[in-house]
Amino acid sequence: MSRDWMLHKIRTALGRSAGQPAPEPPPVLLDVPVVSVEDRIGLFRASLEKLAGKPHVAASPAEARDYAAALAAGKRVVASNAPFLRECGITSIPGVESGFTDAAALREACADAGLGITSADYVLADTGSLVLLSSHEEARLISLLPPVHLAVVPCDRLLTGLDELLTVLPLPAERTSAMVFITGPSRTADIEQILVRGVHGPGEIHVVLV
């Protein structure tokens, strides 16, 4: 089938003729419900638990630090350069490595770490998803390579869902080279339809909302 014939078939299916300009796209329809912070937290917890994730609500940064310290016990830990982790005192936990600027050193540390700690740019309540924008503060390897991932996020970054995210961040490419959605632990059923966790990323994920 020639290229011209293929394009002709597509134009015909769309009811257009050769040379006719494409119509203007329809307006974007985004629905952002009004939901209280308490209800967002409840929805997020339920959504993440359905995915076998482990949510926790911390009443203070100190409580978030205590949670991270308990999870870090006995593990090599790598933390991102997110300012919120420093605010919570997580990067000062004994044994937590942070402040990486060299890509090779970060890769080596993540490959050997038992726990990776990040923050997140946004959290989506309806799907239990973390949204991370790749940057010097949030290296993707930390959330992808260690077998356990802990995200510590302030509640003011908790959005209702994808529609609200697209109103807050309509043009992600202007801010980052990659926007990563993390929805529960890594899992796949590609082989004989048997669900296996931890194949393409962490098999265990914890999210602390502060």
pLDDT, tens only, 22-55: 788 888 788 888 989 999 999 999 999 999 899 9
Q: What is the tens place of the pLDDT at every residue in 78-133?
A: 999 999 999 999 999 999 999 988 889 999 998 999 999 999 999 999 999 999 99
Q: Is the pTM of this model over 0.85?
A: no
Mean pLDDT, the chain, integer: 89
Distance CA 90, CA 157 (A): 19
CATH of the domain at 200: 3.40.50.10420
- 31-62: b or e for each residue (b if 16 or more CB lie within 10 Å)? eeeebeeeebbebbbebbeeeebbbbebeebe
Residue 147 domain-assigned (yes or no): yes
Q: Is pLDDT at 135 greater than 70 in this prediction?
A: yes
Query: 14: pLDDT confidence band, cut at 50, 70 and 90?
Result: confident
Tell me phi and psi for residue 92, to 5 degrees. -95, 0
Does residue 30 sit within a domain? no
Domain around 114: 57-209
The reply to whether 118 falls in a domain is: yes
Quote the pLDDT of residue 44: 96
Whether residue 18 is contained in a domain is answered as: no
- Within a domain: 124: yes
Q: Is residue 25 part of a domain?
A: no
pLDDT (tens digit per residue) in 160-170: 999 999 999 99
How many domains in the chain?
1
Q: Let me know if residue 12 belongs to a domain.
A: no
Cα–Cα distances (Å) from 21 to 2, 5, 15, 24, in that order, read 22, 18, 12, 9
In a domain, 16, yes or no: no
